Structure 1
Amino acid sequence: MRKGTIALGLLMAFSATGVSFAQQNSAMTNSGTAMTVGRESKAEFDRMNQKGAAMVAAIQPTSAKLSSADQALMMEVAKGGMMQLEVSKIAVQKASNEEVRQLAQAEVEEQTGLSAKLKEIADAKGVTLPSAPDAETQTKLTQMQGMSGAEFDRTYVSESGVKGHEKLDMVMSKVRSNASDSNLKNIEKAAHPLVKAHLKVSREIMNKMSGNGMSGSR
């Protein structure tokens, strides 16, 4: 069979399944094997991120006023999410390893959606959330901007991927146990599973880095 015929046949096969060459390539590593993020396949990682985003987006804000305790919990969620978002924005641009970049991109998408929903809920209840990173976050951003390569990747996964998600996990657990407002309870139900999933994936990526080193290639 001539090469042109083979190429045409492959093109038709991809077209029939609705999968583009770009989509095929985006799910593959440089070695030609299916990409993973931690121990998850890229496809499964994307699926769980999309599910979490849809659950957050589906929450309908109410005008019920928050107690002072619930308002404090909302502030904790907002503050932790903002730090994760801002650090991850840097990581999307600076990460030298593709798994780390994929984790950062997923985090940006998660926290952007969560931040938007928190603001929507806060506006409905007459609560003002922080609009800019606090001093602790600014210090962290400056530190991360001064790093590059493997040092940056390790620091991002350790500080944001693992420690950041451990903090968010604790905050979400407090919301589950102590919140009385239905919107806050629904935020926990929608977002907490993805926080746990990102923590698990972050630990797996960290283990890869510690065990056999990760290639810096994209």
Structure 2
Amino acid sequence: MKIQSISLGLLMTVLLTGVSVAQQNSGAMSAGTTTQVGKESKSEFDSQNQKGAAAVSAVSATNAKLSSADQNLMMEVAKGGMMQLEVSKVALQKATNPEVRELAQAEVDEQTGLSAKLQEIASAKGITLPSSPDPETQAMLTKLQGMSGAALDKMYVSESGVKGHEKLDRVMSTVESTASDASLKGIAKAAHPLVKTHLTVSKQIMSKL
């Protein structure tokens, strides 16, 4: 009985020690996990990204022909979106700051969905969108590829997160107020709220870098 009691005591000690170590490891993992993106919780940021994606996906593509003015606006949206998408892909691979990576991932997801919807609308209207980055985007990609660490994080958030979204914000506002095509106007209204969210979050992240 005494031997059994000692054995049981040892077993309980081992089990409790294992639980304690597991809890410590879990706590360490939680501490290293990003719970905020800018000033927002990650869950709230993810929720806004999902709502934005759903809104863009719900836009209907019509085959009504675009005016030359609307075609120019559509090209501006496509150009800005491609720039954001391509530089965000690089940042997602190379960024070291976890919040910057969260922003880059959200941007890749957003712009992939926006690009697909723009292509759907363009195809319905018989328009060909740019299939490769313009010189300005290519220059930024080359610069980012040659950078690393904190310098890359700051460059990405400044140029894409802040300046890129400020430009897209202006473009979306122009489309909403001046475009006559329902599909084009619809995609601007659907995407604009998330553009504003990403701009705000980018400024918040920039203030921490």
TM norm structure 1? 0.83
Shift in Å, 1:29:
4.1
Q: Which of structures 1 and 2 has the bigger CA Rg?
A: 2
* Structure that is richer in helix per residue: 2
5+ residue gaps, structure 2: 1-11, 20-25
User: 2:169 is matched by which residue type in structure 1?
Assistant: D
1:34-70 superposed Cα distances (whole Å, 9 cap, x missing partner): 6100000000000000000011111111101100000
In structure 2, distance between residues paired with 1:118 and 1:203:
27
1:62 match = 62
1:93 match = 93
TM norm structure 2? 0.86
2:104 match = 104
In structure 2, distance between residues paired with 1:93 and 1:128:
30
Shift in Å, 1:205:
0.3
In structure 1, distance between residues paired with 2:153 and 2:69:
37
The change in CA–CA distance for 1:165 and 1:5 in structure 2 (over 3 A counts) is same
- Pairwise CA RMSD of aligned residues? 1.9
Identity %: 68
Q: 1:59-208 to 2 correspondence within 5 Å?
A: 59-208=59-208
Which secondary structure state, in structure 2, belongs to the residue aligned with residue 128 of structure 1?
coil
Which secondary structure state, in structure 1, belongs to the residue aligned with residue 207 of structure 2?
helix
Which secondary structure state, in structure 2, belongs to the residue aligned with residue 129 of structure 1?
coil
User: 1:110 is matched by which residue type in structure 2?
Assistant: E
User: 1:184 is matched by which residue type in structure 2?
Assistant: L
The change in CA–CA distance for 1:29 and 1:112 in structure 2 (over 3 A counts) is farther
1:18 match = none
Shift in Å, 1:188:
1.1
Shift in Å, 1:7:
8.1
Which secondary structure state, in structure 1, belongs to the residue aligned with residue 64 of structure 2?
coil
Aligned residues: 191
